[in-house]
Amino acid sequence: MGLLQKSANLALSLSATALALGCAADASPSVTTEQGVVYGFSQNDTNVYLGIPFAQTTAGENRWKAPLVATSYEGGSFDASAFGPSCAQAMSGTTIVAQSEDCLNLNIWTPPSGTGLPVFVYVYGGAMVTGGSSNQQWQGWNFARKDVIYVNFNYRESMYASPYAPELEGESQNFGIMDVELALQWIYDNIEGPYFDFLP
């Protein structure tokens, strides 16, 4: 829980990073990540990048495993103009997009330009039973308008987050928490800052 408590109020400084702010004049702003170039969109004086995969799929052979770092984007770029799917869950009243096991994606709202900006990372609640980063109340428009970079993300829910599986006895089964950790690691790798020193 310490990691979640820290990340919920996380703010850090943007330095020379792999995540470079896009240009306000560009109709399709772009950022560069370790996986390739991400193309978003500009709206209301804000640059937005949606549905960016921070991990490989957790379906199929990866279902009951710790998340794996995302691979390079096919063709070297990713279209981040729409929310990715929410994670599969028993309750669906709080999400506004399709659900899938292939759901470990994150969203970024940024001012059109700037350096040394703070970053706010939001981890939504829901007791790891329900929720999704695409919910309107979790979006970051107001943060970006105040010169704050805002990031939120999905993590596995319900039975996929912490299953009771006798075959996994003796192994960590807190897959939802592992997803949160990997999302924070992706942010650390792509948006550097001193407040991530507690990560390995």
- Answer yes or no: is pLDDT of 101 > 50: yes
Distances in Å between the Cα of 130 and the Cα atoms of 52, 114, 125, 200 are: 20, 35, 8, 28
In this structure, the number of other CB atoms found within 10 A of the CB of residue 119 comes to 24
Radius of gyration of the chain (CA): 16
- Percentage of the residues of the chain whose pLDDT score is greater than 70: 70
pLDDT of the residue at 180: 93
The model carries a pTM of: 0.78
- Give residue 99's identity as a one-letter amino acid code: Q
- Cα 149 from Cα 126, distance rounded (Å): 24
pLDDT of the residue at 160: 62
192 and 149 in contact (C-beta within 8 Å)? no
| Triad 23, 47, 179: Cα angle to 5° | 120
pLDDT of the residue at 16: 27
Q: What digits encode the pLDDT tens for the residues 83-99?
A: 999 887 876 555 567 88
Of residues 128 and 35, more confidently modeled:
35
Of residues 138 and 115, more confidently modeled:
138
List the domains of the chain with CATH numbers.
2-196 (3.40.50.1820)
Of residues 65 and 3, more confidently modeled:
65
Token duo for residue 11: 């703010």
Of residues 4 and 99, more confidently modeled:
99
Q: What digits encode the pLDDT tens for the residues 5-28?
A: 333 333 333 322 334 443 333 468
Please name every residue paired with 120 in a beta bridge, in sequence order, or none if there are none: 11, 150
